[in-house]
Amino acid sequence: MAILVVGSVAFDAIETPSGRRDRCLGGAATYFALAASYFTPVRVIGVVGEDFGVAEEAVFTRRGIDTRGIEHVSGKSFFWSGSYMKNLNEAQTLNTELNVFQSFSPKIPVEYEDSEYLFLANIDPVLQADVRRKMSSVRMVCGDTMNYWIKDHAENLARVLEHLDALLINDGEAKMLAGDNNLVRAARRILAMGPKALVVKHGEFGATSFFGDHAFFGEQASTPFRAPALPLAEVVDPTGAGDSFAGGFFGYIASQPRLTPAVFRRAMFYGGVMGSFAVERFGTERLQQLDRKEIEDRFALFRQLSHLD
Protein backbone atom coordinates (compact mmCIF):
# COMPACT_ATOMS: atom_id res chain seq x y z
CA MET A 1 0.00 0.00 0.00
CA ALA A 2 1.26 3.46 -0.84
CA ILE A 3 2.98 5.66 1.71
CA LEU A 4 2.82 9.41 1.30
CA VAL A 5 5.79 11.23 2.81
CA VAL A 6 5.96 14.97 3.28
CA GLY A 7 9.30 16.53 4.16
CA SER A 8 12.51 18.11 2.94
CA VAL A 9 14.30 17.38 -0.31
CA ALA A 10 17.66 19.06 -0.11
CA PHE A 11 21.28 19.30 -1.07
CA ASP A 12 23.84 18.55 1.63
CA ALA A 13 27.53 19.28 2.05
CA ILE A 14 28.99 16.78 4.50
CA GLU A 15 32.36 16.15 6.08
CA THR A 16 33.13 13.11 8.19
CA PRO A 17 36.36 11.37 9.24
CA SER A 18 35.91 9.20 6.11
CA GLY A 19 35.90 12.11 3.64
CA ARG A 20 33.66 14.85 2.29
CA ARG A 21 30.99 15.60 -0.29
CA ASP A 22 30.33 19.17 -1.37
CA ARG A 23 26.90 18.52 -2.82
CA CYS A 24 24.81 15.43 -2.50
CA LEU A 25 21.10 14.86 -2.63
CA GLY A 26 19.63 14.72 0.86
CA GLY A 27 16.68 15.76 2.97
CA ALA A 28 14.51 13.67 5.28
CA ALA A 29 11.91 12.89 2.61
CA THR A 30 14.61 11.66 0.25
CA TYR A 31 16.17 9.23 2.72
CA PHE A 32 12.76 8.07 3.89
CA ALA A 33 11.42 7.55 0.37
CA LEU A 34 14.46 5.60 -0.85
CA ALA A 35 14.48 3.33 2.20
CA ALA A 36 10.71 2.70 2.04
CA SER A 37 10.79 2.12 -1.73
CA TYR A 38 12.26 -1.37 -1.24
CA PHE A 39 9.05 -2.40 0.50
CA THR A 40 6.09 -0.49 -0.88
CA PRO A 41 5.05 2.27 -3.34
CA VAL A 42 6.10 5.72 -2.14
CA ARG A 43 4.81 9.19 -2.99
CA VAL A 44 6.67 12.35 -2.06
CA ILE A 45 5.51 15.86 -1.24
CA GLY A 46 8.26 18.46 -1.07
CA VAL A 47 9.63 21.53 -2.78
CA VAL A 48 12.82 22.03 -4.81
CA GLY A 49 14.50 24.82 -6.72
CA GLU A 50 15.95 25.12 -10.18
CA ASP A 51 19.12 23.29 -9.09
CA PHE A 52 17.10 20.08 -8.79
CA GLY A 53 17.45 18.58 -12.23
CA VAL A 54 17.02 15.42 -14.23
CA ALA A 55 19.78 13.55 -12.37
CA GLU A 56 18.15 14.21 -8.97
CA GLU A 57 14.70 13.35 -10.26
CA ALA A 58 16.08 10.07 -11.54
CA VAL A 59 17.29 9.09 -8.06
CA PHE A 60 13.63 8.89 -7.10
CA THR A 61 12.13 7.56 -10.30
CA ARG A 62 14.70 4.79 -10.71
CA ARG A 63 13.34 3.43 -7.44
CA GLY A 64 9.77 3.79 -8.70
CA ILE A 65 9.02 6.67 -6.34
CA ASP A 66 6.18 8.96 -7.38
CA THR A 67 7.53 12.52 -7.59
CA ARG A 68 4.41 14.30 -8.81
CA GLY A 69 4.12 15.94 -5.39
CA ILE A 70 7.58 17.51 -5.61
CA GLU A 71 6.89 21.10 -6.44
CA HIS A 72 9.44 22.95 -8.58
CA VAL A 73 9.75 26.68 -7.91
CA SER A 74 12.27 29.33 -8.88
CA GLY A 75 15.22 29.75 -6.57
CA LYS A 76 17.57 27.28 -4.89
CA SER A 77 16.73 24.07 -3.03
CA PHE A 78 17.11 23.73 0.73
CA PHE A 79 20.84 23.45 1.49
CA TRP A 80 22.43 22.02 4.63
CA SER A 81 26.07 21.76 5.47
CA GLY A 82 27.30 19.70 8.41
CA SER A 83 30.39 18.19 9.95
CA TYR A 84 30.90 15.01 11.94
CA MET A 85 34.62 15.58 12.49
CA LYS A 86 34.23 16.12 16.23
CA ASN A 87 31.51 13.60 16.93
CA LEU A 88 30.19 10.90 14.61
CA ASN A 89 27.06 10.66 16.71
CA GLU A 90 25.98 14.26 16.33
CA ALA A 91 26.20 16.56 13.34
CA GLN A 92 27.62 20.01 13.83
CA THR A 93 25.60 22.25 11.52
CA LEU A 94 27.90 24.58 9.60
CA ASN A 95 25.29 26.25 7.44
CA THR A 96 21.57 26.08 6.73
CA GLU A 97 19.98 27.86 3.76
CA LEU A 98 16.24 27.27 3.70
CA ASN A 99 15.88 28.84 0.26
CA VAL A 100 12.66 27.61 -1.45
CA PHE A 101 11.85 25.58 1.66
CA GLN A 102 11.19 28.78 3.61
CA SER A 103 7.79 29.27 1.99
CA PHE A 104 6.96 25.57 1.61
CA SER A 105 3.25 24.95 1.67
CA PRO A 106 2.52 21.27 1.04
CA LYS A 107 0.00 20.61 -1.73
CA ILE A 108 -1.49 17.17 -2.06
CA PRO A 109 -1.91 16.03 -5.67
CA VAL A 110 -5.25 14.42 -6.42
CA GLU A 111 -3.44 11.21 -7.34
CA TYR A 112 -2.05 11.00 -3.79
CA GLU A 113 -5.37 11.30 -2.00
CA ASP A 114 -5.91 7.56 -1.74
CA SER A 115 -2.60 6.99 0.08
CA GLU A 116 -3.23 4.69 3.02
CA TYR A 117 -0.09 5.52 5.00
CA LEU A 118 1.28 8.95 5.87
CA PHE A 119 4.71 9.90 7.13
CA LEU A 120 5.21 13.42 8.46
CA ALA A 121 8.98 13.92 8.30
CA ASN A 122 10.67 16.56 10.40
CA ILE A 123 9.17 19.88 9.25
CA ASP A 124 7.25 22.73 10.90
CA PRO A 125 4.49 21.09 12.99
CA VAL A 126 2.01 23.61 11.55
CA LEU A 127 2.58 22.04 8.14
CA GLN A 128 2.52 18.53 9.61
CA ALA A 129 -0.87 19.23 11.21
CA ASP A 130 -2.18 20.70 7.98
CA VAL A 131 -1.26 17.63 5.92
CA ARG A 132 -2.55 15.32 8.63
CA ARG A 133 -5.94 17.10 8.54
CA LYS A 134 -6.16 16.86 4.77
CA MET A 135 -5.28 13.15 4.88
CA SER A 136 -7.63 12.31 7.72
CA SER A 137 -8.69 8.92 6.41
CA VAL A 138 -5.27 7.22 6.23
CA ARG A 139 -4.90 3.87 7.96
CA MET A 140 -1.81 4.90 9.87
CA VAL A 141 0.26 8.02 10.35
CA CYS A 142 3.78 8.25 11.74
CA GLY A 143 5.84 11.34 12.38
CA ASP A 144 9.25 12.68 13.30
CA THR A 145 10.35 15.97 14.85
CA MET A 146 13.49 17.58 16.27
CA ASN A 147 14.78 19.63 19.21
CA TYR A 148 14.08 22.96 17.46
CA TRP A 149 10.32 22.27 17.28
CA ILE A 150 10.28 20.68 20.74
CA LYS A 151 11.86 23.72 22.34
CA ASP A 152 10.29 26.64 20.53
CA HIS A 153 7.07 25.31 18.96
CA ALA A 154 5.73 23.07 21.70
CA GLU A 155 2.05 24.04 21.29
CA ASN A 156 2.03 23.44 17.58
CA LEU A 157 3.85 20.16 18.06
CA ALA A 158 1.31 19.07 20.69
CA ARG A 159 -1.45 19.33 18.08
CA VAL A 160 0.49 16.98 15.80
CA LEU A 161 1.20 14.45 18.55
CA GLU A 162 -2.50 14.13 19.35
CA HIS A 163 -3.13 12.57 15.97
CA LEU A 164 -0.14 10.30 15.49
CA ASP A 165 -0.16 6.53 15.51
CA ALA A 166 3.57 6.42 16.08
CA LEU A 167 6.18 9.05 16.84
CA LEU A 168 9.77 8.21 15.84
CA ILE A 169 12.40 10.37 17.53
CA ASN A 170 15.85 9.93 18.96
CA ASP A 171 16.85 9.40 22.54
CA GLY A 172 17.81 12.98 23.38
CA GLU A 173 14.70 14.37 21.70
CA ALA A 174 12.44 11.98 23.62
CA LYS A 175 13.95 13.03 26.93
CA MET A 176 13.71 16.71 25.97
CA LEU A 177 10.09 16.38 24.83
CA ALA A 178 9.12 14.62 28.08
CA GLY A 179 11.35 16.69 30.36
CA ASP A 180 12.58 13.46 31.95
CA ASN A 181 15.98 11.81 31.68
CA ASN A 182 14.69 8.31 32.30
CA LEU A 183 13.72 6.59 29.06
CA VAL A 184 10.77 4.61 30.44
CA ARG A 185 9.23 7.56 32.26
CA ALA A 186 9.85 9.80 29.23
CA ALA A 187 8.07 7.27 27.03
CA ARG A 188 5.04 7.20 29.35
CA ARG A 189 4.78 10.97 29.27
CA ILE A 190 5.03 11.14 25.49
CA LEU A 191 2.42 8.41 25.04
CA ALA A 192 0.13 10.49 27.27
CA MET A 193 0.50 13.33 24.75
CA GLY A 194 -1.26 11.30 22.06
CA PRO A 195 0.85 8.90 20.00
CA LYS A 196 -0.31 5.30 20.30
CA ALA A 197 3.27 4.10 19.98
CA LEU A 198 6.69 5.63 20.41
CA VAL A 199 9.87 4.48 18.69
CA VAL A 200 13.01 5.88 20.31
CA LYS A 201 16.17 5.64 18.21
CA HIS A 202 19.46 5.09 20.08
CA GLY A 203 21.92 5.35 17.19
CA GLU A 204 24.52 2.58 17.48
CA PHE A 205 22.41 0.91 20.18
CA GLY A 206 19.33 0.38 18.03
CA ALA A 207 15.82 1.47 18.93
CA THR A 208 13.16 0.80 21.54
CA SER A 209 9.40 0.89 21.02
CA PHE A 210 6.86 1.67 23.73
CA PHE A 211 3.09 1.32 23.48
CA GLY A 212 0.17 3.08 25.07
CA ASP A 213 -2.69 1.12 26.55
CA HIS A 214 -4.69 -0.67 23.88
CA ALA A 215 -2.42 0.50 21.09
CA PHE A 216 -2.64 -0.96 17.60
CA PHE A 217 -3.02 -4.51 18.66
CA GLY A 218 -6.55 -4.69 19.99
CA GLU A 219 -7.21 -5.74 23.54
CA GLN A 220 -3.98 -5.89 25.41
CA ALA A 221 -1.20 -3.37 25.84
CA SER A 222 2.18 -4.45 24.52
CA THR A 223 5.53 -4.70 26.29
CA PRO A 224 8.46 -2.67 24.99
CA PHE A 225 10.59 -4.07 22.21
CA ARG A 226 14.24 -3.36 21.49
CA ALA A 227 15.80 -3.87 18.07
CA PRO A 228 19.60 -3.85 17.77
CA ALA A 229 21.75 -1.80 15.44
CA LEU A 230 24.58 -3.43 13.54
CA PRO A 231 28.02 -2.86 15.06
CA LEU A 232 29.98 -1.29 12.17
CA ALA A 233 33.75 -0.88 11.91
CA GLU A 234 33.26 2.28 9.85
CA VAL A 235 30.39 4.74 9.82
CA VAL A 236 31.11 6.69 6.64
CA ASP A 237 28.29 9.22 6.98
CA PRO A 238 25.57 9.16 9.66
CA THR A 239 23.39 11.67 7.78
CA GLY A 240 19.89 10.35 7.19
CA ALA A 241 20.23 7.25 9.38
CA GLY A 242 17.11 8.13 11.35
CA ASP A 243 15.04 8.88 8.25
CA SER A 244 16.24 5.65 6.65
CA PHE A 245 15.21 3.81 9.81
CA ALA A 246 11.76 5.39 9.52
CA GLY A 247 11.56 4.42 5.83
CA GLY A 248 12.43 0.78 6.49
CA PHE A 249 10.14 0.65 9.50
CA PHE A 250 7.08 2.23 7.91
CA GLY A 251 7.73 0.79 4.45
CA TYR A 252 7.62 -2.72 5.86
CA ILE A 253 4.43 -2.02 7.83
CA ALA A 254 2.74 -0.61 4.72
CA SER A 255 3.70 -3.73 2.78
CA GLN A 256 1.86 -6.01 5.20
CA PRO A 257 -1.88 -6.75 5.14
CA ARG A 258 -2.34 -6.08 8.86
CA LEU A 259 -0.41 -4.48 11.71
CA THR A 260 0.27 -7.14 14.32
CA PRO A 261 2.82 -7.17 17.17
CA ALA A 262 4.97 -9.49 15.04
CA VAL A 263 4.81 -7.09 12.08
CA PHE A 264 5.73 -4.15 14.32
CA ARG A 265 8.77 -6.05 15.64
CA ARG A 266 9.95 -7.01 12.19
CA ALA A 267 9.43 -3.40 11.12
CA MET A 268 11.79 -2.29 13.90
CA PHE A 269 14.39 -4.69 12.52
CA TYR A 270 13.92 -3.45 8.94
CA GLY A 271 14.32 0.09 10.27
CA GLY A 272 17.68 -0.85 11.76
CA VAL A 273 18.65 -2.66 8.57
CA MET A 274 17.98 0.37 6.35
CA GLY A 275 19.73 2.69 8.82
CA SER A 276 22.78 0.43 8.80
CA PHE A 277 22.95 0.56 4.99
CA ALA A 278 22.50 4.35 4.90
CA VAL A 279 25.61 5.06 6.97
CA GLU A 280 27.91 2.82 4.93
CA ARG A 281 28.36 5.44 2.20
CA PHE A 282 27.94 9.18 1.78
CA GLY A 283 24.47 10.62 1.40
CA THR A 284 21.98 8.29 -0.25
CA GLU A 285 24.62 6.45 -2.30
CA ARG A 286 24.07 3.10 -0.64
CA LEU A 287 20.28 3.42 -0.45
CA GLN A 288 20.08 3.98 -4.19
CA GLN A 289 21.51 0.63 -5.15
CA LEU A 290 20.33 -2.06 -2.81
CA ASP A 291 18.38 -5.13 -3.71
CA ARG A 292 15.93 -7.10 -1.68
CA LYS A 293 18.34 -10.00 -1.18
CA GLU A 294 20.93 -7.75 0.48
CA ILE A 295 18.17 -6.44 2.73
CA GLU A 296 17.00 -9.92 3.69
CA ASP A 297 20.59 -11.06 4.31
CA ARG A 298 21.15 -8.16 6.66
CA PHE A 299 17.83 -8.82 8.37
CA ALA A 300 19.12 -12.34 9.04
CA LEU A 301 22.31 -10.83 10.46
CA PHE A 302 20.27 -8.65 12.83
CA ARG A 303 18.43 -11.74 13.97
CA GLN A 304 21.69 -13.63 14.51
CA LEU A 305 23.09 -10.65 16.42
CA SER A 306 20.22 -10.58 18.88
CA HIS A 307 18.52 -13.95 19.10
CA LEU A 308 19.33 -16.77 21.48
CA ASP A 309 18.87 -19.53 18.95
Footprint of a copy of itself on this chain (CB under 8 A)?
88, 181-185, 187-188, 202, 204-206, 208, 223-226, 228, 231-235, 262, 265-266, 269, 301, 303-309
Cα separation, 236 vs 17, in Å, equals 8
CB of 158 or CB of 230, closer to a copy of itself: 230
Q: 210 - beta bridge partners? A: 198
Q: How far is the CB of 162 from a copy of itself (least distance, A)?
A: 24
CB of 269 or CB of 282, closer to a copy of itself: 269
Triad 288, 276, 89: Cα angle to 5°: 115
How many helices (H) and strands (E) the chain has is answered by 11, 13
Please provide the size of the chain in residues.
309
Q: How far is the CB of 236 from a copy of itself (least distance, A)?
A: 12
Q: How far is the CB of 36 from a copy of itself (least distance, A)?
A: 20
Q: What Cα–Cα distance (Å) separates residue 221 from each residue in 115, 196, 207?
A: 28, 10, 19
CB of 183 or CB of 193, closer to a copy of itself: 183
- In which element (H, E) is residue 60 found? helix 54-61
Instruction: With both helix axes pointing from N to C terminus, report the angle between 241-255 and 28-36 in degrees, rounded to the nearest 10.
Output: 40
Q: How far is the CB of 28 from a copy of itself (least distance, A)?
A: 25
List the alpha helices (DSSP H) in 196-291.
Answer: 241-255, 261-278, 285-288
Q: Quickly count: other Cβ atoms within 10 Å of residue 221's Cβ.
A: 10
Cα separation, 233 vs 201, in Å, equals 20
Q: How far is the CB of 55 from a copy of itself (least distance, A)?
A: 33
CB of 131 or CB of 187, closer to a copy of itself: 187
Dihedral sign computed on CA atoms, order 158, 160, 166, 168: negative
CB of 62 or CB of 185, closer to a copy of itself: 185
Q: How far is the CB of 265 from a copy of itself (least distance, A)?
A: 5
Triad 46, 102, 165: Cα angle to 5°: 50
> Within a 13 Å sphere around the CA of 140, how many CA atoms are in the beta-carbon half?
24
CB of 60 or CB of 302, closer to a copy of itself: 302
CB of 21 or CB of 266, closer to a copy of itself: 266
Q: How far is the CB of 309 from a copy of itself (least distance, A)?
A: 6
